[in-house]
Amino acid sequence: MSCLFFLAGCCFSERVFFFLRVFFFSVVALRCNMPEYGKADYWDERYKANDTTFDWFVAFEPLKDIFASLIKPEHKVLVIGCGNSRVSPQLYDSGIFQITNIDISEVVIGQMRSRYREMDRMEWIKMDAMKLEFPENQFDVVIDKGTVDSLLCGSNSFHNVYTMNKQISRVLKRGGKYIIITYGQPDTRIDHYRRKRLHFDVEHRTIDKPVFTTDVSPVSSYHVYVATKNEDVRDAAAAGDDEDDEDEEDDDFYDKFQANVAM
């Protein structure tokens, strides 16, 4: 019996609590053992081996009400890192036709373009979400379902996420919505969207996991962040005046994140 009490004491020691917090606040680093997630070659090979459709985290149905409240038929929608998800075709079936899907994998873009060729008002384009080739203020809605999680699996992850988010802010219209579906809890995600140069107001929601799921993540729900681009954001030329402050903001951001992990 004394051994059991000893083990219980060890399990709840300060050191164990510290590592548990590191696990939950940095779950990305522990789950992501495949740095290839950020590389086109990895995804090309994966899609060549399995030409089908698949939805990370949740399918369309649990997201339907959220999408209906934020996306109107006349909206122009950009889906980044679309992969072989059925979300875009199901949005199309619901009456949202102006959808542009991008992915770094040329293979999956070709597969999806062929699979849904009858949905001829929807576009499929090979493009890197960190290097968007669209003009400013182009889209009413941008959807990310798992792309941020993939970027956080690779090297230079914070920088890459920030680069992508700046690109999305640039192509998003004032008042537009950036919808992020992720397994990441607010402690590990929300500050990525609150950085001042992104000009986002961020709302957090949750979606319960399906009862029958093969996901082994240590969370009971998935997370949706809705980032709304501020109406009073300045244009790109004026925003350039803040370039000197960016390094300082980066330092503050990393310090804040590490402080959360070490709490």
pLDDT, tens digit (0-9, with 9 covering 90-100), for 137-173: 999 999 999 999 989 988 889 999 999 999 999 999 9
Say if residue 123's pLDDT is above 90: yes
Domain-located, residue 10: no
Rounded distance between C-alpha atoms, residue 47 and residue 106, angstroms: 10
Residue 33 has a pLDDT of 52
Domain-located, residue 12: no
Choose the weakest-confidence range: 7-11, 198-202, 236-240. 7-11
CATH number at residue 141: 3.40.50.150
Q: Is 26 exposed, middle or buried (0-12, 13-18, 19+ CB in 10 A)?
A: middle
Share of the chain above pLDDT 70, in %: 70
pLDDT in tens, 48-78: 898 888 888 888 999 999 999 999 999 999 9
Domain-located, residue 7: no
Cβ atoms within 10 Å, residue 62: 16
Domain-located, residue 5: no
pLDDT in tens, 69-121: 999 999 999 999 999 999 999 999 999 999 999 999 999 999 999 999 999 99
Residue 248 has a pLDDT of 55
Domain-located, residue 244: yes
- Check: CB of residue 127 under 8 Å from CB of residue 102: yes
Phi, psi of 161, deg, nearest 5:
-65, -45
Residue, of 141 and 260, whose pLDDT is higher: 141
Parent domain of 212:
34-249
Mean pLDDT of the chain: 80
Phi, psi of 218, deg, nearest 5:
-85, 30
Share of the chain above pLDDT 90, in %: 57
- Check: CB of residue 46 under 8 Å from CB of residue 84: no
Residue, of 262 and 152, whose pLDDT is higher: 152
Domain-located, residue 255: no
Domain count, the chain: 1
Domain-located, residue 8: no
Rounded distance between C-alpha atoms, residue 138 and residue 176, angstroms: 10
Domain-located, residue 18: no
As a whole number, mean pLDDT of residues 200-224 equals 76
Counts for the chain of helices (H) and strands (E), in that order = 12, 7
